[in-house]
Amino acid sequence: METRTMSVEEVAAFLGLHRDTIYDLVRENKLPHVRLGGRIFFLEDVLENWLRKNMVE
């Protein structure tokens, strides 16, 4: 299984949030991410697990 990386724009669309909100969450270390070469990436499976873990029922 291949791990897919997502950009800030893709995560914003996926979560239904503004791009600036994603940057705020990254800055506050509230959203799991990877920094490579000055860019921010997200691993799709890690993000989905994070969402499940933080779901309020």
Phi/psi of residue 43, each to 5°? -90, 125
- Look up tokens 């949030």; give the residue: 17
| Model confidence, pTM | 0.86
Contact 34, 42 (CB under 8 A): yes
Contact 25, 31 (CB under 8 A): yes
pLDDT, block means (10 residues), the chain with 57 residues: 87 96 96 94 94 89
What is the per-residue pLDDT for 1?
58
